[in-house]
Structure 1
Amino acid sequence: MGERNTISREGRRFSYPMAAGVTIYAGNVVVMQSGAAKEGLVATGLVAVGIAEATVVNSGAAGASMIDAVAGTYRLDNDAVDPVGLTDIGNDCYLTGPASVAKTNGTGTRSRAGRVRAVDADGVWVTI
């Protein structure tokens, strides 16, 4: 095997095909489920891929619209019932809505949002 021209890109911004009949609002967590993007929610089997850059409505079939999501570290809302605390920095946190996270997986009912980087009075800094 010889030399190769390996193409690269930044690696933070990607476009994803949207699930049928969904709206993803700017600033909310984008998750993949069965190959289609939707907003973060309480469910298992979701993979968080980033934050939506713009609001996109897919009123058609799955894949009829695309959403741009950017991976990074973002401040999300801290769940009031199962809050993330300072002792959770460095641990995983779990989706409880389109822009909120909790400390635990809710006894196996929540998907991972990302890794907790910091916690302050305004929310939880999560690397997605």
Structure 2
Amino acid sequence: MPLTQDRMTPVRDAEVMPFAVGAGEEIYQGALVATNATGFLVAGAAATGLTYIGRADEHVDNSGGADGDETVLVRRNKAFLWKNADADPVGQSLVGQTCYILDDETVAATDGTGTRSEAGTVLAVETAGVWVE
């Protein structure tokens, strides 16, 4: 039903938010993280069906738990410097284009013939790694 009077809509700063962690997951502080097909946070991996979220701001061990037993704070909407894949490196020609999750600290140039999920947009490629938004 549409509003018929003013409403104080709740607001949250979405830069750092808690996410429910997937079953059997251990996520390290500084890890590239994504949500899986059921919406739970997992460490980045070469897999399909993941949605890139950002960088874990803390360590959490849910390796013995069920989906959602633990939460972890995740920093979002920033550019992060991830390692560049050795075998499938992101090159300068991909600036402004998509790169792909290889693991929880590494991005790659391609989707690995359909085996990797998108990480985000490449902003810069340096010797230290790849800046991804």
TM (norm. structure 2) is 0.90
Match of 1:108, SS state, is coil
> 5+ residue gaps in structure 2?
none
Aligned residue type for 1:10: D
Once the two structures are superposed, what CA deviation does each residue of 1:41-73 show, in whole Å capped at 9, x if it has no partner?
000000111100111001221111001111111
Deviation at 1:84, TM superposition (A): 0.6
Establish whether residue 63 from structure 1 lines up as the match of residue 64 from structure 2.
no
Establish whether residue 114 from structure 1 lines up as the match of residue 120 from structure 2.
yes
Once the two structures are superposed, what CA deviation does each residue of 1:70-118 show, in whole Å capped at 9, x if it has no partner?
1111000000111111111000100001110011111111000111000
Instruction: Output the CA distance in 2 between the equivalents of 1:11 and 1:61.
Output: 25
Aligned residue type for 1:70: R
Higher strand share: 1
Deviation at 1:35, TM superposition (A): 1.7
Aligned partner of 1:87 among 90, 93, 100: 93
Match of 2:123, SS state, is strand
- TM alignment of 1:13-28, pairs within 5 A: 13-28=16-31
Taking only the aligned residue pairs, the percentage that are identical comes to 38
Aligned to 2:52: 48
| Structure label with greater radius of gyration | 2
Query: RMSD value over aligned CA atoms?
Result: 1.1
Deviation at 1:5, TM superposition (A): 2.2
TM (norm. structure 1) is 0.94
Task: Provide the aligned length of Structure 1 versus Structure 2.
Answer: 127
